[in-house]
Structure 1
């Protein structure tokens, strides 16, 4: 390098030109309910952290996370009012104790040079990062209510802790709208090591991707209701993954190198070796190299519950792996150096096949439009690390207030329209109230700071019979181009019965699709929504509808000519409880429809998505094709059947709304309740994990137990005039029928009992 070039490079570094843009950009995020002077963005170096690999930075990092004085930590149930983005520039940060991110916190490192969090030899705590501490006997937060947090771009290093001393990299019992992304775990490789990289013992997830585990006794020790995990690498671990318990889990593109065991799903309660804790697992498009055993399982026809421990392998490559699947009594599937096309254990509903599955199966025939070089198409969340701060257009600098009361419609549209020439809209944290449609043209990129929320409000969204879009992606259905959206929330402020929170019209090239990453919907249940305990507290036993608690007509609509959309870790939630309430008190809030895709062109990827508590349905697909899904999840509204699905929202035939008044004729039980999944006149679906749950009957959970007969509702999945539907790992709770085709039940819950849900590991339609 010439000396003049060297001086130029040094000068650029000095002014921050080559630093990650998040550290350089002007931060104007406003938390309207947090008090004057509250900082949303915090750089740990502004609080005294050195990152020099020598100084103990524990206290400085804690100061950065807890700044503001009213952050939600010990004794706080949950809140959206005090968000924080805590930024770590490159460096090595020494930790002597756990750092504990409060509720609604994002920890973000520089992706161009990931910061290292390194434990001292005498480290004390449960995880270098403890995402849900045990201040007493229970977890600080109810793990199924831990939302809106993420951690990305770090190296977690426990190598200074003696190998034989228990150590955990990250403790992460959390739920929806959370993520761990682009993190490397470094642990000792000594034979005596007992270190664990990631420990998660409970929750209702979720999504993680791009994690690497080096060394340790266990890379990841995992227990949660359901999860999608993508792009995980395990190097020199004794065991890559120990599954503590689950209902359903989908693993995509995992790599195991020089491990003893890849994945262990044999967990049982103490003293009950024939009773299993793990519901099911799906492992796809993955590789095992130089492992002793790829998968350990305990599933047999005599284990309990009946379908517990169900398993699917598809497109799994082995290199020097003696045993592919090891059972209780020895090898179930031999290994070697080969590729397992498809293999499974559990219950199957396939024409002409025995219900009991234990062996090879025909793999799915995947459409080329959904695949890339190493399986189904996927893309990690863009972080724009090659851009400078000057490439971002701030919503606040464009005139938007984000204070929860000002009409920000025009200002947000101005910001979007001005972000041309490859620029990105930076949605500074805030609550942005809008009173009309905002159009997002092709070529737009929007990234949020700490999950800001755009809220539909006012009379424009008031007609329940004529829903109108709040965010309109593409002007007309079939408009060509690409859009990228990440890290923000859409919702409501007051009643908006005619709001479609997102309308997606864009037709993108399937080889370079549009994307939504960590984009969520939240209707009611938060400060600013005007639908909290004070306005919408539940009224068990009453079917009366408070029209002031109708928050949306539809959460997301993908129109007829749209195509080429990749959705990852998107949670579309109509609130069941008040996040701001100290007891998480339940509320009754209404939204008509969840996610509706009616694209006749098809080609969509739904990776780790969830849609909950919508009145007519949660997921509906009509007249479409070529859909990939991994571990999607729903819940029926807790208030049902008071009112049931024949009330509140009128049937709009142009939207293919289900008409429960006619379809429930002759069906016993609570038939007129929200579909978890409805597929109409469609084909070529590839579902790798699903959970459709109905826990309540008018706020009572007595209906969702095995002893009660799983009778919260009559049916929950409907296939109508379909073909080529392929489902691995269908889990249901509280529904008498697990799956209906053309109005006839295909499978009953009682024939497929699992650890808490019922499970069908394989279903295929003709």
Structure 2
């Protein structure tokens, strides 16, 4: 079969047919802890799939996924040791039962000619792709612990299944560092249709982009903690979107056309709403009788549930924009109109919460963040116009990726050679030890093969917390001019590296922004990190710091003269548990700081990003401006306040560290705890959804319940110094007594903004 695939590639080249580079490039990726002979890259046609529109390819596809045997499926909690890419060349693959991707698996189709996964008429299963099967009454994987996987470039077709027979295109309860991209769902449009394109019932997302839904009863039926969804199109669905529940959700570039109802957020009814908040911006509804169905009223419960924000939403032949239990709440138009701003929920005022359902003055959008009248966005490139010889493999350059060899010189050589030749760096899968800084010159493009890992390692270079140094230095000095593109890899540490700054961003990009898509930092919690249960097992209630678990200085630093950076679906994670432990046992690992942005110019776009479990703060914006954020998500370290944020890192005033030894004076409760978000002396910041969560106090979750008084920590969001044009829409906290502080004084208490589980402010502006 491998020879047949090779022969097909040769014949295609001879005939002038350009196969996707990922199909033809030499695959040298290694999974160093998976065993000898383990295959990382799998072409489904090498396992007998035909893609001819006739043959049932289900067994062949699942065989490709699970080779050898059950990689991590039924009964497996999670893993990083047996990753895989499953590649689908162009064709129509008939599917009679669910394709079930194992943990840490990417399904990738040819983007230039998307493969079609088409259900047979007798299809049986919960989704043509079932991303988390029910072998028991619960999903196989804990839905908040499903990380590091993607599905992209497919057409999913259920039109062979009778319209009145229940069918689901994809079942996808999942969490951070996952994505769906460039997928089309085709369903019947006949009367009585009950098909659903995408179904999500739980998890902690997340990001998706460039999805299209045609037909069906419901395009997407979804419940998850939080999500950012960008460039979704719905055509001829009965209902485009049904929200089962959420804490917060942001839609950007939503296009709903010829559907009976656009978005339904009525789940639970007015007495027990389950949708916490929805934000819709830069979107359109065309020929939709009812744009949004809401159950929100002046007395609906919980107090702030059903929060809704609409901004720059264009309507064409939408008679009712928003409909409540008693009828029209916001009229639309039989012609064309645009909702510049409208909201329902508890807005913040200096005198307390104000329950409002009505017009919202549109914010002053910073021009630097816009493309036309919409916020700038950009989909992850897949380089489909390039041939395989336009990529420089780091393994071909001599890197081993075995988690043992020093790969610094080989990686730097590959990057330098690719940049000078105008080619793309290809990081074959592996775990690469880097013992000194790798400099990324302007013009570099890097794409990973299924989340390879670049690790700060060694016993000297990154170990001095008094002299922090970068692992990846993007641009040699702050203000270096040029652009780069990063996608699909992980930056990490191996062992204790208390002086490691994982990514230092120095580039001042002109023209199109530099960008990172699906690039994540991960400190500990995986095989090869030497920061797992065996080394860093949690010790609940103990203030002792295990020095070997002080693992990183900072996840990412955007320096003063850097500018023009777009980040999409990037997760900066200090591991709270061991992914490769059979029971996901919790760990205590220390990384000092999350994302520090001190660019004096900006702009910075943060689309579906998260930063979790850093000691001092997760996001900090200082002396900066022009920031757009959609669904920032943070978590406070689970071990705090024992020890608290005063240890183990010394305050570095040059990097504007918060000083809890002084700022906590007179503050009751657990004050010295990581800031979810800290904004200092900055302007022109717009946040369309932010969830800042503190679930634990010394690994005990009791403190995060409403009944307990949300007292895991005292404060969560801090606004300090000279500020202007600071805008929050759907600002949520869990476990914090104060939602937001201004110069040390609380502006809002959680008790005044109780939502479905978080506390949530609908609109807050400074």
TM-score range for the pair, normalised by the shorter chain length? over 0.9
Q: Tell me how far apart the structure 1 counterparts of residues 668 and 559 of structure 2 sit (CA, whole Å).
A: 34
Residue segments in structure 1 that go unaligned for 5+ positions in a row: 1-8
Instruction: Give the superposition deviation at 1:301.
Output: 2.1
Q: Tell me how far apart the structure 2 counterparts of residues 200 and 16 of structure 1 sit (CA, whole Å).
A: 42
Q: Tell me how far apart the structure 1 counterparts of residues 634 and 271 of structure 2 sit (CA, whole Å).
A: 30
After the TM superposition, which residues 643-658 of structure 1 pair with which residues of structure 2 at under 5 Å, given as runs? 643-658=643-658
Answering whether residue 233 of structure 2 is matched by residue 233 of structure 1, we say yes
Q: Does 516-525 or 295-304 show the bigger shift? A: 295-304
Give the equivalent residue in structure 2 for 1:494: 495
Instruction: Give the superposition deviation at 1:68.
Output: 2.3
Give the equivalent residue in structure 2 for 1:281: 278
Give the equivalent residue in structure 1 for 2:709: 709
Give the equivalent residue in structure 1 for 2:742: 741
Answering whether residue 303 of structure 2 is matched by residue 306 of structure 1, we say yes
Give the equivalent residue in structure 2 for 1:121: 121
Give the equivalent residue in structure 2 for 1:208: 208
Instruction: Give the superposition deviation at 1:602.
Output: 1.3
Task: Sort the Cα spacing of 1:557 and 1:16 in 2 relative to 1 into closer, same or farther, 3 A.
Answer: farther
Give the equivalent residue in structure 2 for 1:94: 94
Instruction: Give the superposition deviation at 1:350.
Output: 3.8
Encode CA deviations 1:452-492: one digit per residue, 9 max, x unaligned: 00000121000112210000000010001000000000001
Answering whether residue 533 of structure 2 is matched by residue 533 of structure 1, we say yes
After the TM superposition, which residues 250-399 of structure 1 pair with which residues of structure 2 at under 5 Å, given as runs? 250-268=250-268, 273-336=270-333, 337-350=336-349, 355-373=354-372, 375-399=374-398
On the 8 A contact 1:70/1:82 being kept in 2, the answer is no
Instruction: Give the superposition deviation at 1:20.
Output: 0.5
Answering whether residue 141 of structure 2 is matched by residue 141 of structure 1, we say yes
Encode CA deviations 1:689-737: one digit per residue, 9 max, x unaligned: 0000000000000000000000000000000012210000001000000
Instruction: Give the superposition deviation at 1:364.
Output: 1.3
Task: Sort the Cα spacing of 1:440 and 1:15 in 2 relative to 1 into closer, same or farther, 3 A.
Answer: farther
Q: Could you tell me the TM-score, scaled by structure 1's length?
A: 0.97
Q: Tell me how far apart the structure 1 counterparts of residues 629 and 62 of structure 2 sit (CA, whole Å).
A: 39
Give the equivalent residue in structure 2 for 1:423: 423
Question: What is the Cα-based RMSD across aligned positions, in Å?
Answer: 1.2
Give the equivalent residue in structure 1 for 2:441: 441
Q: Tell me how far apart the structure 1 counterparts of residues 468 and 590 of structure 2 sit (CA, whole Å).
A: 14
Q: Tell me how far apart the structure 1 counterparts of residues 14 and 105 of structure 2 sit (CA, whole Å).
A: 29
Instruction: Give the superposition deviation at 1:10.
Output: 10
Q: Tell me how far apart the structure 1 counterparts of residues 252 and 408 of structure 2 sit (CA, whole Å).
A: 40
Encode CA deviations 1:393-431: one digit per residue, 9 max, x unaligned: 000000000000101000000000110332000000000
Task: Sort the Cα spacing of 1:10 and 1:544 in 2 relative to 1 into closer, same or farther, 3 A.
Answer: closer
Q: Tell me how far apart the structure 2 counterparts of residues 61 and 694 of structure 1 sit (CA, whole Å).
A: 41
Answering whether residue 466 of structure 2 is matched by residue 469 of structure 1, we say no
Q: Tell me how far apart the structure 2 counterparts of residues 69 and 130 of structure 1 sit (CA, whole Å).
A: 18
Give the equivalent residue in structure 1 for 2:6: none
On the 8 A contact 1:395/1:415 being kept in 2, the answer is yes
On the 8 A contact 2:227/2:608 being kept in 1, the answer is yes
Answering whether residue 593 of structure 2 is matched by residue 596 of structure 1, we say no
On the 8 A contact 1:350/1:762 being kept in 2, the answer is no
Encode CA deviations 1:34-79: one digit per residue, 9 max, x unaligned: 0000011000001110000000000110011111235100000000
Answering whether residue 764 of structure 2 is matched by residue 763 of structure 1, we say yes
Task: Sort the Cα spacing of 1:58 and 1:416 in 2 relative to 1 into closer, same or farther, 3 A.
Answer: same
Q: Tell me how far apart the structure 2 counterparts of residues 478 and 715 of structure 1 sit (CA, whole Å).
A: 34
On the 8 A contact 1:247/1:757 being kept in 2, the answer is yes
Encode CA deviations 1:603-640: one digit per residue, 9 max, x unaligned: 00000000000000000010000000000100000000
Instruction: Give the superposition deviation at 1:349.
Output: 1.4
Encode CA deviations 1:632-651: one digit per residue, 9 max, x unaligned: 10000000001001110000
How many pairs align?
753
Runs (4 or more) in structure 1 with deviation over 3 Å come to 9-17, 350-354
Q: Tell me how far apart the structure 1 counterparts of residues 541 and 688 of structure 2 sit (CA, whole Å).
A: 38
Q: Tell me how far apart the structure 1 counterparts of residues 10 and 634 of structure 2 sit (CA, whole Å).
A: 52
Q: Tell me how far apart the structure 2 counterparts of residues 755 and 198 of structure 1 sit (CA, whole Å).
A: 23
Q: Tell me how far apart the structure 2 counterparts of residues 733 and 273 of structure 1 sit (CA, whole Å).
A: 22
Q: Tell me how far apart the structure 2 counterparts of residues 764 and 625 of structure 1 sit (CA, whole Å).
A: 15
Q: Tell me how far apart the structure 2 counterparts of residues 300 and 13 of structure 1 sit (CA, whole Å).
A: 63
Give the equivalent residue in structure 2 for 1:700: 700
Encode CA deviations 1:278-326: one digit per residue, 9 max, x unaligned: 0000000110000010011111121111000010000001000110000
Give the equivalent residue in structure 2 for 1:3: none
On the 8 A contact 1:128/1:156 being kept in 2, the answer is yes
Give the equivalent residue in structure 2 for 1:5: none
Question: Aligned with 1:414: secondary structure?
Answer: helix
Instruction: Give the superposition deviation at 1:227.
Output: 0.3
Q: Tell me how far apart the structure 2 counterparts of residues 15 and 552 of structure 1 sit (CA, whole Å).
A: 52
On the 8 A contact 2:352/2:748 being kept in 1, the answer is no
Q: Tell me how far apart the structure 2 counterparts of residues 553 and 349 of structure 1 sit (CA, whole Å).
A: 36
Encode CA deviations 1:240-274: one digit per residue, 9 max, x unaligned: 00000000000001001100000000000xxx651
Q: Tell me how far apart the structure 1 counterparts of residues 370 and 441 of structure 2 sit (CA, whole Å).
A: 27
Give the equivalent residue in structure 1 for 2:3: none
Answering whether residue 407 of structure 2 is matched by residue 402 of structure 1, we say no
Q: Could you tell me the TM-score, scaled by structure 2's length?
A: 0.97
Encode CA deviations 1:362-386: one digit per residue, 9 max, x unaligned: 1011122110135100000010000
On the 8 A contact 1:17/1:388 being kept in 2, the answer is no
Q: Tell me how far apart the structure 1 counterparts of residues 17 and 645 of structure 2 sit (CA, whole Å).
A: 56
Encode CA deviations 1:118-161: one digit per residue, 9 max, x unaligned: 00000000000000000111100000000000000000000000
Give the equivalent residue in structure 2 for 1:73: 73
Give the equivalent residue in structure 2 for 1:248: 248
Give the equivalent residue in structure 1 for 2:172: 172
Give the equivalent residue in structure 1 for 2:221: 221
Residue segments in structure 2 that go unaligned for 5+ positions in a row: 1-8
Q: Tell me how far apart the structure 1 counterparts of residues 32 and 462 of structure 2 sit (CA, whole Å).
A: 24
Question: Aligned with 1:481: secondary structure?
Answer: coil
Encode CA deviations 1:203-227: one digit per residue, 9 max, x unaligned: 0000000000000000000100000
Question: Aligned with 1:355: secondary structure?
Answer: strand
On the 8 A contact 1:237/1:258 being kept in 2, the answer is yes
Instruction: Give the superposition deviation at 1:355.
Output: 1.3
Q: Tell me how far apart the structure 1 counterparts of residues 608 and 569 of structure 2 sit (CA, whole Å).
A: 5
Q: Tell me how far apart the structure 1 counterparts of residues 367 and 677 of structure 2 sit (CA, whole Å).
A: 25
After the TM superposition, which residues 658-677 of structure 1 pair with which residues of structure 2 at under 5 Å, given as runs? 658-677=658-677
Q: Tell me how far apart the structure 2 counterparts of residues 14 and 177 of structure 1 sit (CA, whole Å).
A: 39
Give the equivalent residue in structure 1 for 2:63: 63
Question: Aligned with 2:95: secondary structure?
Answer: strand
Give the equivalent residue in structure 2 for 1:724: 725
